[in-house]
């Protein structure tokens, strides 16, 4: 399978790329600046989510079977969140669908669209991500939105709780990456928004047990 990873130089995106390569997938790593891509042994393409150049979108998505979007703004400002997490991701979704991509897995944020579940300083990002998540659901692609809680940099535990709504907690980026990659082959995750946190079930079992 040929998979494009958006946000491939981020702390989650890098782990996603590594897991995909370890499983034998061909990976196109979309990076905003090539100088940040040291150590990524994937096919690199420079791509800014704020780009309006259709040729850049074609370079990223042409020939792609699936997309894992791990991109996110590093700013908490509403203007930047709207530019990247909402408008940028929506434009990328539309371009991918138009180019024949069949599968899109989106890393979002727990509580997106529910202001009461998101800290005040993250609400602009949550609202932007919710808009992109909702747009993805109408894209015509087989889609999955993965909504994690507070992320840590600890080692993977391989054990999670997953569902449409789960108790808040924390999750390692390594486990989040594993969930995103596992969703590729789990048809039980198609066309669903799922929350995930650390838990008691192995990731594959947790995803395949979804009703």
CATH of the domain at 14: 3.40.50.720
Determine, yes or no, domain membership for 173: no
Domains of the chain: total: 1
Report the DSSP beta bridge partners of residue 196: 162
Q: What is the pLDDT of residues 21-71, one digit of tens each?
A: 999 999 999 998 887 788 889 999 999 998 878 888 999 999 999 999 999
Determine, yes or no, domain membership for 204: no
Q: What is the pLDDT of residues 95-129, one digit of tens each?
A: 999 999 999 999 999 998 887 888 888 899 999 99
118 neighbors 109 (Cβ within 8 angstroms): yes
Question: Under DSSP, is residue 109 helix (H, G, I), strand (E, B) or coil?
Answer: coil
Q: 53 Cβ partners below 8 Å, 6+ apart?
A: none
Determine, yes or no, domain membership for 123: yes
69 neighbors 144 (Cβ within 8 angstroms): no
Q: What is the pLDDT of residues 125-171, one digit of tens each?
A: 999 999 999 999 999 999 999 999 999 999 999 999 999 999 989 99
Dist. CA 55–CA 60, nearest whole Å: 9
195 neighbors 110 (Cβ within 8 angstroms): yes
What is the residue range of 131's domain? 2-149
Determine, yes or no, domain membership for 171: no
154 neighbors 172 (Cβ within 8 angstroms): yes
Determine, yes or no, domain membership for 197: no
């Amino acid at each position: 399978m040929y998979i494009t990873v958006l946000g491939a130089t981020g702390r989650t995106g890098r782990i996603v790329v590594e897991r995909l390569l370890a499983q034998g997938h061909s990976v196109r790593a979309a990076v905003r600046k090539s100088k940040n891509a040291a150590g990524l042994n994937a096919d690199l393409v420079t791509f800014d989510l704020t780009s309006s150049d259709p040729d850049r979108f074609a370079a990223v998505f042409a020939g792609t079977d699936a997309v894992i979007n791990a991109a996110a703004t590093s700013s908490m400002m509403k203007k930047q969140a709207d530019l990247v997490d909402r408008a940028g991701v929506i434009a990328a979704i539309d371009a991918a669908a138009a180019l024949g991509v069949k599968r899109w897995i989106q890393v979002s944020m727990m509580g997106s669209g529910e202001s009461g579940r998101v800290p005040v300083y993250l609400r602009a990002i949550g609202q932007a991500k919710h808009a992109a998540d909702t747009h993805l659901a109408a894209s015509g692609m087989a889609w999955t939105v993965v909504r994690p809680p507070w992320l840590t940099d600890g080692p993977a535990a391989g054990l999670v709780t997953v569902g449409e709504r789960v108790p808040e907690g924390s999750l390692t980026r390594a486990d989040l990456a594993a969930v995103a990659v596992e969703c590729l082959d789990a048809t039980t995750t198609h066309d669903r928004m799922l929350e995930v946190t650390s838990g008691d079930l192995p990731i594959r079992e947790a995803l395949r047990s979804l009703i």
